[in-house]
A = this chain, B = another copy of it.
């Protein structure tokens, strides 16, 4: 592998500089992505391995990040369980048959990863071939709580009233769903690793919609269940539970190699909470990419300084990159990490 920085950091091996990749790096801020998007709809892009591969590779060439992440969507799992999925311009994903009663839950289909999600596995195999070991390839899936929230709400939501009603009124039903999702996600991630993913990330995007005790009851155990199964493959696992900084200490105990840190949290505080149990990933404010370049440089340096001198940090944003982000600033951010991070690693070796 030409650039194995990410893998080395995940294994806590020394590195000469901090690796950097960007959540949603294969996405709408890139004109090259938008050109492909103009010709086909989002789900066709996910389901066509040639297109998914092309999109996945774009930021490697254009931005120069240290990892590729497969172009896909977390909602392919609910879709495989029988909930029709569509994407509406502007409003995001819509599941037209949300789960509302016990019968809806009973009718969910078991997931057969090879059959139902073969297009993702094929995209991973194709991307690995095209990457020619330039950088590692990351696979991913949504966390059970986040997938359940989409499945019950029928899409994104502001206040998540429906899933909360279920949580309060029928915790047994919700836990049944979460357990099924945890099984499916674990199988799916293991299959991704078999197909070529060298690292996997679990996105618990709606973790912040739970109170701290709810997070520990309805999210954490299912993350743990998945991590246990997936780390058995030997591939490193990143868990990004967005806005769940209240439970960093608990998250550091579930066996994940890396924890993502939201931009709303303090990286130094997170480090204090987790000790040296895990690598941390993040957490630049996505809006810092709209700052003048000299300000952006300061912000990058501040993240590196808070991450400290251990080889235990992966640079990233603290959330997905925003569609209107200027490409030149994104490139500048990656360059600043290359330029500024070696100083932190040298000090380590003195």
| A contact residues vs B (CB 8 Å cutoff) | 159-161, 164-165, 168-169, 208, 211-214, 243, 245-246, 263-266, 269, 285-288, 290-292, 295-296, 299, 302, 322, 324
A131 CB → nearest B CB, Å = 31
Point out the residues of chain B lying under 8 angstroms from A212, CB to CB: 264-266, 269
Whether the Cβ atoms of B269 and A246 lie closer than 8 Å is: yes
Q: Which residues of B contact A288 (CB under 8 A)?
A: 164, 168
Contact across chains for A265 and B246 when beta carbons are under 8 A apart: yes
Residues in B whose Cβ lies below 8 Å from that of A285: 164, 211, 214
Chain B residues whose C-beta falls within 8 Å of the C-beta of A322 in the assembled complex: 159, 161
How many protomers of this protein does the assembly include? 2
- The answer, among B159, B243, B291, for a CB contact under 8 Å with A264, is B243
Q: Name the distance in Å between A143's Cβ and chain B's nearest Cβ.
A: 17
A290 touching B164, Cβ below 8 Å? yes
Are the CB atoms of A287 and B165 closer together than 8 Å? yes
Smallest CB separation, A284 vs chain B (Å): 9
In angstroms, how far is the closest chain B Cβ from the Cβ of A90? Answer: 11
> How distant is A292 from chain B, measured CB to nearest CB, in Å?
5
Q: Decide if B211 touches A168 in the complex (CB within 8 Å).
A: no
Closest to A299 in B: B168
Residue of B nearest to A209 (CB): B264
Query: What distance in Å separates the Cβ of A101 from its nearest Cβ neighbour in chain B?
Result: 16
- Cβ B208 vs Cβ A169 within 8 A: no
B290 touches A168 (CB 8 A): yes
